[in-house]
Amino acid sequence: MALAFRDNLAVLVVVALLSTAYIMPLLTKIRRFRVAEYFAVAMLGLALSGGIYLAREILLHGTFTYAVGGWPAPWGIELSLDAVSGFFLITIGVVATPIMLYASVDLIKEVGSRSRAAWFLTLFLLLVAALCGLAVTGDLFNIYVMVEVATIASCAIVAARNDATSVEATFKYLMLATIGSGFVLLGIGFLFVLTGNLNMNFIAQELSMSWQKYPTALWVCLSFFMVGFGVKSALFPLHVWLPDAHSTAIAPSSAMLSSLAIKGYIIALLKVFYVAVGAKIITRLPITDILTLLGMVAIIAGALFALAQDELKRRLAFSTISQVGYIFLGIGLGNIHGLTGTFMHILSHATTKALLFLAAGAMIKHTGKSRISEMAGVGAAMPVTVGAFAVGSLSMIGIPLFSGFVSKWQLLLGSLANGNYLAVLVLVGGSLLAAAYLLPVLRMAFFERPLQKPVVANVSYVQLAALLFLVVVIISVGVVPDGVLQLASEAATALLGLEVLP
Amino acid sequence: MTDFVLKRMVALVLPFVQMLGLYVIFHGHLSPGGSFSGGIITGLSLIAFSLVFGLERGHEKISERLMGLIESFGALWYGAMGLVGVLRGTTFLMNKGAGVPLGEPGRLFSGGLILLITLGVGLKVASTMVTLFNALMEEEE
């Protein structure tokens, strides 16, 4: 049997990135370091185009599955390619490519030595490959493996610089993330015992017939998943590792972790809840209400914590906690607009937060100041970088014409459709708070007179190109959201429509 | 370490340990064990050498550079074997369906790609064990 190119593309995206990860140590040994970095950027770009091609195929010809090794579904590992996978693959490519480009400029100086930088490239690509794996897989145990790879890789790139604070943050992250993995594994174990399957579509079929027989076991299992993935994606009361890890890492690591790594776990949670357990069962259980509530608390609490921070990267890290709240709110709403909003927010927060962290990294590096109160007059010294930061801030607040508006609008529609007026209030309040914690940075950078003599900063053109790429993505998603929005709502329909009738 | 008995004993035992490791790797498709356990046994033999004769002499036997190369090679080899199926027009990691000769069941050279894949994984596991050990040892100094 001859398989179409697009079928193999599903697995080739992951395999190509994994292979690139292992080519990195070889390439850095025999060629100049720059060559390896540009090779990595090129492969990420290829993965992005592969993702776009796959998403287009999925939109045109519907979902398809791929049996790895030729073993069919209940026995072998099955990749299931639906709009969710396409959407997340595009998100990964759009964000990871500019981050890698940004990192390529002064990676060796940032992490300390050439061999460490080589390992950084390897781990970065492993993380991206694991996230792509999470996007395409349809198998629960495969999800667990990918989650583990992503966790270890993201812990390691937090510690890339190897100074005391980042190692301490990594240790904290590693411990909590391991506990999270344990919960996830227990949850998978429960589902396996309840249904005898690891393939998510088979679990859905099995559960739709028998879930009423084991309500308590299902509850326990779902709570395990919620806590496990909640720890890893920094859902509010479980977020304690995030501020340290994201603020002490080097700028590309923070951008990668904050924008993509935590989203991978959210995609995994979505797949487990809406595909494996099924929308029909999930929306009938109060677990969605818990997610909505936690999301709302996270939006407000994360924003309030962010307000209290003076260190720029810490403020951005707490902002991530607040924005993760929006995503969980959408998951909890459980209707088409809510889930579309969730997907759009995954994309818009990924691009926006990557832009903010990268711009903040450049600002901190060139001024030598990490506190917002010391940033007076930075805007005059590096107008493009701070301008990019401004675009990121506006998108994060949710101003129309920026991508953040599109996602928040969908979430708003979702809340209204559920008659959840508290959520509407929280969404608006969260945006106001976002303005309150992001705009002072811009005021400080642009409108305050510098205390000492103004700094002169030359950000390299490659880094500026990376920032501008993200700016273009944010604005084009904000101005013409049609294509992405269609893909997102297709993904939401796929999740809600996969229910098997009891 | 300067203990004479220990050094002699390790020198005597190591060849057999390595032999066992390679045996387990090569018979991964026939008997219990396989690339993972075999790779660990092989890796442990190198670690034992470094522990008893010192890290320096361990590096003389296999340099860290070579270890790194083997590590990457093992992983890439797996990917390459998987691509055989894709290149033959079937799925990733396809074995018999991709037209690989399977050989006679029970013989050492049978099972198609499985033997080749276990070889790569065995190399990868062994070199990773040694790299991990080296990293921990160097941290101490």
- The pTM of this model reads 0.93
Q: How far apart are CA A259 and CA A157, in angstroms?
A: 14
Q: Which of B84, B92, B93, B131 to mutate to test the interface with A (most CBs of A within 10 A)?
A: B92
CB contact (8 A) between residue B75 and residue A7: no
A78-81 vs A64-67, strand pairing mode: antiparallel
Q: Measure Cα distances from A267 to A89, A260, A495 in Å.
A: 11, 10, 11
| Interface contact A69-B72, CB threshold 8 A | no
Task: Find the closest chain A residue to B66 by CA distance.
Answer: A26
Contact B91 A25 (CB under 8 A): no
Are B79 and A68 in contact (CB < 8 Å)? no
Say what angle helices A164-195 and A215-232 make with each other, to 10 degrees. 160
The minimum CA-CA distance between B53 and chain A, rounded to whole Å, is 26
Q: Do B91 and A7 lie within an 8 Å CB cutoff? A: yes
B63 lies within 8 A of chain A by CB: no
Residue of A1, A5, A11 best to disrupt the B interface, most CBs of B under 10 A: A11
User: In this complex, is the C-beta atom of B85 within 8 Å of any C-beta atom belonging to chain A?
Assistant: yes
Report in angstroms the alpha-carbon separations of A460 from A105, A362, A370: 8, 10, 20
- pLDDT for res A315: 92
pLDDT tens for chain A, residues 1 to 502: 446 677 888 888 999 999 999 988 888 877 788 888 889 999 999 999 999 999 888 888 888 888 888 888 888 888 888 889 999 999 999 999 999 999 988 888 888 888 888 889 999 999 999 999 999 998 999 999 999 999 999 999 998 887 888 889 999 999 999 999 999 999 999 999 999 889 998 998 888 888 888 888 899 999 999 999 999 999 888 888 998 888 888 899 999 999 999 999 999 999 999 989 888 888 888 888 999 999 999 999 999 999 998 889 999 999 999 999 999 999 998 888 999 999 999 999 999 999 999 999 988 888 877 888 888 878 888 888 899 999 999 999 989 899 999 999 999 999 999 888 999 999 999 999 999 999 998 888 888 777 666 566 678 889 999 999 999 999 999 999 888 998 898 888 888 874 433 3
* The pair of three-digit structure tokens given for residue A153, joined into one six-digit string: 């890789």
Cβ neighbors of B19 (< 8 A, separation 6 or more) are none
Does the distance separating the beta carbons of B89 and A2 come in below 8 Å?
yes
Collapse the DSSP code of A348 into the 3-class scheme (helix H, G, I; strand E, B; otherwise coil) and give the result. helix
**B contact residues 112-141, partner A, Cβ 8 Å cutoff:** none
Q: Return the half-sphere exposure (C-beta side, CA atoms, 13 A cut-off) of residue B42.
A: 23
Task: Give me the residue label for tokens 């796929």.
Answer: A494
Distance CA B136, CA A301 (A): 41
Nearest CA of chain B to the CA of A27: how many Å? Answer: 10
A3: nearest CB among B69, B75, B91: B91
Of A23, A29, A66, the CB nearest to B91: A66
Distance from CA of A24 to the nearest CA of B (A): 9
Residue of B nearest to A7 (CA): B91
| Nearest Cβ partner for A70 among B72, B73, B90 | B90
Q: What are phi and psi of A199, to 5 degrees?
A: -75, 130
Q: Positive or negative, the Cα torsion across B41, B45, B46, B48? A: positive
Cα separations (Å) of A197 from A19, A77, A188?
30, 11, 10
Complex confidence, ipTM? 0.88
Rounded CA-CA distance A404/A400 in Å is 8
Q: Does B69 sit within 8 Å of A26, measured CB to CB?
A: yes
Q: Which of B69, B72, B92 sits opposite A68 (nearest CB)?
A: B92
Cβ-nearest to B86 among A8, A19, A23? A8
With an 8 Å Cβ cutoff, is B99 touching chain A? no
CB pairs under 8 A between A and B: 60
Distance from CA of B49 to the nearest CA of A (A): 25
Query: Chain A partners of B85 at a C-beta cutoff of 8 Å?
Result: 69-70
